[in-house]
Homo-oligomer: A and B are copies of this chain.
Amino acid sequence: MANGLRVVARIKAKQDKIEEVKRLLSGLIEPTRKESGCVSYELLQNCQDPTDFTFIEEWTSDAALSEHFETKHFKNAQPHLPELTAEESDIRTYTVIG
């Protein structure tokens, strides 16, 4: 299987902000996939709980992920999250076992 760094990032929308969160996060997909260190970047929505949005990400390295956090698209989206979300984003990095 592929190596590299994985990220699972959970963003919990407020009940009345689901569509706004969906729009905000969807806007990150295209520019993020164009980043040179991005292998894959997929936005998911929980089948049972529509307030649970989750990115599954694959990056070539820690440095590539750090660069992502400095991009204009990421930095533009971030300030909107506190008003739209029910809790702080849960961003976890992983290595692949198999």
Contact = CB atoms under 8 A, between A and B. Distances in A.
A45 interface: yes
Contact of A97 (B43, B94, B98): B43
Contacts of A22: 97
Contacts of A42: 1, 6, 96, 98
A34 interface: no
Which of A5, A44, A46, A54 has the largest count of B CB atoms less than 10 A from its CB? A44
Given A56-B6, A56-B56, A98 B46 contact: no
The size class of the interface chain A forms with chain B is 20 to 34
- Assembly stoichiometry (copies): 2
A44 B42 CA distance: 17
Contacts of A98: 26, 29, 42-43
A48 B93 contact: yes
Contact of A52 (B5, B52, B53, B92): B92
Contacts of A29: 98
